[in-house]
Chain A
Amino acid sequence: AQKVTQAQTEISVVEKEDVTLDCVYETRDTTYYLFWYKQPPSGELVFLIRRNSFDEQNEISGRYSWNFQKSTSSFNFTITASQVVDSAVYFCALSEDRAAGNKLTFGGGTRVLVKP
């Protein structure tokens, strides 16, 4: 069965610092998708990024970047130059079932607090 582990429960930073969130996953499948979602206090999960298991190229999108390493089953996420509005809970998620698309297994989440 698949599993997602986010070892950091809470991270507190001062505005403009970088924040890196760790995610480690377990899966037996060779084809899968990895996601990061943000959950602000309003409660609605907001999609941030998706990566498939065939593409280990790391990218930057605005202030977000990610580091996917299949060899260590890790999918880490970085927020550069954090802002107060980045304060939220961030979830890493895994989808094994390509047909099911968004049948996701979530990690426990990491709460990020950005102080002004």
Chain B
Amino acid sequence: DTGVSQDPRHKITKRGQNVTFRCDPISEHNRLYWYRQTLGQGPEFLTYFQNEAQLEKSRLLSDRFSAERPKGSFSTLEIQRTEQGDSAMYLCASSLDLGRNEAFFGQGTRLTVV
């Protein structure tokens, strides 16, 4: 499978715990994007990387959210001190670094905070 891979697919956590999600992009794609999708809504942009550089993080929802892409390949999204409002689907996408190239999305990680 050469698509975008996200792990885990589902995560249930207790409020206050930290969680980390992983995204493996398509191998030749140097751009990687994180989105959040709540039930019944469209995806909401969070942050993106070009190679290992995080080019925008102002849309991260709070300082509890952070993302890394240390070697320009896979990326992690961490949420610290989770809250019930963090329950959502977290989507990762990757693309080549030209605007004309569409993004390919993974199947997402569904987070439930209880």
Contacts and interface: CB of A to CB of B under 8 A. Distances in A.
Q: Interface range on chain A: under 10, 10 to 19, 20 to 34, or 35 or more?
A: 20 to 34
B105 A44 contact: yes
B103 A102 contact: yes
Interface residues of B, number: 29
Contacts of A93: 42
Contacts of B100: 50, 52, 101
Contacts of A33: 99
Contact of B45 (A44, A45, A46, A104): A104
A2 to B, nearest CB: 11
Contacts of B110: 43
Contacts, number: 70
A8 B55 CA distance: 34
Contacts of A91: 42-43
A50 B104 CA distance: 13
Interface in B88-114: 89, 91, 93, 95, 97-108, 110
Interface string A10-34: 0000000000000000000000010
B104 A98 contact: no
A109 B43 CA distance: 9
B105 A101 contact: no
A93 B103 CA distance: 12
